[in-house]
Amino acid sequence: MPVARELPSQNTLLELLNYDPLTGELRWKFRPEGPPQWNGKWAGKLAGGVSKSQGHMVLNIGRRLMLVHRIIWKMVYGVDPPHDLDHRDGDPTNNRLSNLRSATHFQNMRNKKPHRGKELPKGVSLHKCGRYRASIYINSRCRHLGLFDDPDEAHAVYCAAAAVAFGEFARFA
């Protein structure tokens, strides 16, 4: 994933790109002083593509690869975004401004979709005694929430603890 670095000025970005807040897409603008070949090929077209490694939208400006959600933040607010921006719905390609929010690194990780199998719900594991264990990680420490006969009951306990610990950044699935 591209490193978070200082972006071009807001004026430069506004000269180069159009942002559609309804779709979250960036499109290249027509450049009056630009080469006709460039305008014929790119003007009005979708700017950027999906990074294969992280799934975020990326864009090349001045031979520098940048994250589209960070460009949008600067275009709208006029300042470089904080180090982390979070996609509320967990979809890194949904760059509607209403889906972006400032977050700490830990808040951003709390809202990340899990990379696990679908056998058990989030926060639940099978204990060696055959019961279902509910646990949660807070400040890099695992907290045991209890053992349950039903995985849904264990998940409900996890969800309650996550809501308290992580607030609006809690992800339950």
Pick from 112, 23, 109: nearest CA to 68 = 23
Weakest mean pLDDT among 2-11, 47-56, 90-99:
2-11
Predicted TM-score of the model (pTM):
0.72
Weakest mean pLDDT among 49-58, 63-72, 98-107, 158-167:
49-58
In the chain, CATH 3.90.75.20 sits at 10-110
Topology of 10-110 in CATH? Homing Intron 3 (I-Ppo) Encoded Endonuclease; Chain A (3.90.75)
Q: What is the token pair recorded at 147? A: 């053992």
Per the CB < 8 A criterion, the answer to whether 33 and 94 are in contact is no
Largest alpha-carbon pair distance within the chain? Answer: 72
User: Cα-atom radius of gyration of the chain, to the nearest Å?
Assistant: 21
In DSSP terms, 57 is beta-bridged to 50
Residue 37 identity:
Q
